[in-house]
Chain A
Amino acid sequence: MLTISFHPETFGDPEPYGRNTVKFRIATSVVLAATLALAAAACSSNDNASTGDNKSIEFWSFTGINQKAQVDDYKKLHPGIDIKLTEVGSSVETAQALTTALAGGKVPDLVLIQGDDLPKFVQQPQNFVDLRTLGADKVKGDYLDWVISQSIAKDGQILGVPTDVGGMAVAYRTDLFAKAGLPTDRDAVGKLWPTWDAFIEAGKKYVAATGKPFVDNAATSVFYQAVNQGPEKYYDTAGNLVYDQSPQVKTAFDLGLKAVAAGISAKQSSFATGWSAGMGPGQFAVVAAPSWMLNAIRTNAPGTKGKWDIATIPGGAGNWGGSYLAIPKNAKNPKAAWDYIAETQSPKGQLAHFVASGSLPTTPSVYKDAQLTSLKDPFFSDAPTGTIYTDSLLGLKPFYIGPDSSAIGQEFQNAITNVEQGKGDPATAWDTALKNIKAAIGK
């Protein structure tokens, strides 16, 4: 037991400003000043870029993408290399932390950037190592051209190497389809909706037969998918904004409104509380599902195992999501970081990661590999996920993604959701969206 006893008599100093007291005060002031100086120095100290030992890698990733497994494997193969993996937060939070770090802080050696956040960084390539200097131009051909082209700056600098893509398909409930008198076999379902108009017609039949909504929402499951299925989205190939005149965008927007008007939507925004809760009870029968969405369905509706299947998406091709590995300019160990990228993101490395975690490879050379084609998912009625998703990638045409692409897309989706919720007028929705985009991006 610790007892602290004070001796009051020694405190009642008869000379209140005695020398020892003064000394004590000077000492305190000095200590304080020194502490503050240290604190100030710590704030302003600049990290020197050339102090690396090329043996340790500071790696920033985001949650839910399981980079840890790959990092652990790499460390086992290379015992001399130490990788410090930090899951900063969500993909958006990681991009924000990276922005702050680039603006004047301590940068990691290696960082994972989600596709939606990438254009802002590609616009400012001076913040990153040109991976061509480390050998990226030699392996560039390994990756899907429209995927790697998103991480190439105007002057040809390669900022990042793609680690995975989402692909696109439609997950549907076979039990509910059977009740509604719709086909349940995945090939027959794919033939049921070759186009988005056919998809909406199928939805009407489902609603008429069951009285329940067909698809989770119109903004994400219809508009967002349709708008990605063409050669030109919000920018033309030269990088000029064309979102207000691009026929592809207008068609997709009208399809979204048409789905709303047809009354087939459950009006549940993706990832909202009601969306997660509605999946199990069958509040909707269809969800647009990139490969990573399968895991969300599995966790949200664990009781529906075997009642789902996966069919091709209307329009045949699509992608949602995907990430890139990049090396910031002031990284301490760029060479070690590149060695990690080169090994883990090679076609062989990506295939191994797909088998282990389900992340879709960005390297088409492994798309016919038996390890990929033979993979079946029991939760989704043994659907061959490897082939379904890689097929959806091969039909995609590259389009230019600019710095404001995600802000523009968000405003279009907001306008459709607003109509879906009964708050917006479908007749003026397009003009409202254009007005909001102008306010959002300032041009």
Chain B
Amino acid sequence: MTTSLSPTLGRLPALSGSVGVRQRIVERIAPYAYIAPFFVVFGVFGLVPLLFTFYIALFDWNPIGEHTFIGLDNFTRLLHDDRFWNAAGNTLSIWVLSTVPQLLLALLLAHLLNHARLRFAVFFRMSMLVPYITSVAATAIVFAQLFDRDFGLLNWLLGHVGVGPIDFTQSRWGSYVLIAAMVMWRWFGYNTLLYLASLQAIPREVFEAAAVDGASGWQQFRHITVPSLRPIIVFTIVTSTIGGLQIFTEPLLLSRSAPLTCGPVRQCQTLTLFLYEQGFGQFQFGYGAAIGVALFVLVVVLALINYLLSTRIRREQR
């Protein structure tokens, strides 16, 4: 079957004056109508909830009961709440633990995958993405079993080298490592492919010329790969920062007995999880909103630092 798409836009007679005016107005308006869907959707699902969050944060807000205006009390309470600082510390620690090794690993893997003489390159590149398309819940279940105290594979291996069973979910650093491992496993392939894509934009001759001049693999990596990847490295740092500050599902699924606090002493409760616990576990929407505002401020600060760093890197490149 052949469908022919040929709109019959015939020749038109010359336009009269009034039509011309109307036409010009329409021309002015039309572009706004075209971009309107994004802004309307962003407004409905982004901006309005954001502003509403700021508003709710000023109230003692029970979703199915009374709303009492209390000014900045939620924020005063937040600044004196150990649980908030605990969650902030957890979030930043997990973010550093998961991002730094992950991006280094991705960089190294991308460099290896870009090697001219690598066999089955497509297979290796594609398999990198498998963790990325696996559901977080499935990842969490498998990792919980691998890291289990009594029946986990990892502790079984550790037992062979004489290291006693570690209860990862119960200790602070143990749970950080476990969550960071889950995040790394899920995202390293994605970042590797990003690096690989921009690596492939570098002419192969540059590497060949370096090799001819006697540069070792490490020297090529240090002096060609890393400098030419600077913009994409900045990009991946920005995206992993945003993602890292919002880690939620992994800690939520870690502790079955106290999921909302990620363990009995909130040892791995992140900011988003704390927000969820207060808002949807305790139904304290006002306090939950205040946590959301604090998280917003934190993201803005880190984004500013990122921006300053990246403009500086760009200036250095010139």
**Which A positions have Cβ atoms within 8 angstroms of B?**
1-7, 10, 13-15, 17-22, 25-26, 28-29, 32-33, 36, 40, 43, 92, 96, 99-100, 102-103, 120-121, 123-124, 127, 219-220, 267-275, 277-278, 283, 407, 410, 413-415, 417-418, 421, 423-424, 439-442
Q: Is the pair B65, A123 in contact by a Cβ cutoff of 8 Å? A: yes
Q: With A10-B7, A274-B148, A415-B264 in contact, do A103 and B33 touch (Cβ < 8 Å)? A: no
Q: Is the pair A414, B3 in contact by a Cβ cutoff of 8 Å? A: no
Q: Is the pair B283, A99 in contact by a Cβ cutoff of 8 Å? A: yes
How far is A40 from B41 in the complex, measured between Cα atoms in Å?
10
List chain A residues, Cβ under 8 A from B169: 272
B62, CB-defined interface residue at 8 Å? yes
Contact of A423 among B148, B151, B265, B284 (CB under 8 A): B265
List chain B residues, Cβ under 8 A from A25: 26, 30, 33
List chain A residues, Cβ under 8 A from B150: 268, 274, 277-278, 283
**CB of A441 to closest CB in B, whole Å:** 8
B170, CB-defined interface residue at 8 Å? yes
B11-42, CB < 8 A from A: 11-12, 15, 19, 23, 26-27, 29-30, 33-34, 36-37, 40
B37-68, CB < 8 A from A: 37, 40, 44, 62-65
Chain B residue nearest in CB terms to A12: B9
The 3 nearest A-B residue pairs measured at CB? A269-B257, A414-B264, A29-B33
Q: Is the pair B6, A32 in contact by a Cβ cutoff of 8 Å? A: no
Per-residue contact bits, chain B 67-88, to A (CB 8 Å; 1 contact, 0 not): 0000000000100011100000
Contacts A4-B5, A7-B4, A103-B64 aside, 7 further interface pairs with beta carbons under 8 A come to A5-B2, A26-B26, A29-B30, A273-B151, A417-B258, A421-B264, A423-B265
List chain B residues, Cβ under 8 A from A3: 1-3
Contacts A/B (CB < 8 Å), 15 sampled: A4-B3, A5-B2, A5-B3, A17-B23, A25-B26, A25-B33, A103-B64, A120-B283, A123-B65, A124-B65, A272-B169, A278-B151, A413-B257, A418-B265, A439-B83
Contact of B33 among A7, A28, A121, A274 (CB under 8 A): A28
List chain A residues, Cβ under 8 A from B26: 22, 25-26
How far is A3 from B1 in the complex, measured between Cα atoms in Å?
7
Q: Is the pair A100, B63 in contact by a Cβ cutoff of 8 Å? A: yes
How far is A417 from B265 in the complex, measured between Cα atoms in Å?
9
List chain A residues, Cβ under 8 A from B318: none
Q: Is the pair A18, B9 in contact by a Cβ cutoff of 8 Å? A: yes
How far is A413 from B36 in the complex, measured between Cα atoms in Å?
52
Q: Is the pair A273, B144 in contact by a Cβ cutoff of 8 Å? A: yes
List chain A residues, Cβ under 8 A from B12: 15, 18-20
How far is A216 from B204 in the complex, measured between Cα atoms in Å?
62
B216, CB-defined interface residue at 8 Å? no
Q: Is the pair B77, A273 in contact by a Cβ cutoff of 8 Å? A: no
Contact of B257 among A4, A220, A441 (CB under 8 A): A220
Chain B residue nearest in CB terms to A30: B33
Q: Is the pair B29, A2 in contact by a Cβ cutoff of 8 Å? A: no
How far is A28 from B65 in the complex, measured between Cα atoms in Å?
44
B206-231, CB < 8 A from A: none
Contact of A2 among B1, B36, B280 (CB under 8 A): B1
How far is A181 from B82 in the complex, measured between Cα atoms in Å?
49
List chain B residues, Cβ under 8 A from A36: 36-37, 40
Q: Is the pair A274, B151 in contact by a Cβ cutoff of 8 Å? A: yes
List chain B residues, Cβ under 8 A from A22: 23, 26-27
Per-residue contact bits, chain B 107-131, to A (CB 8 Å; 1 contact, 0 not): 0000000000000000000000000
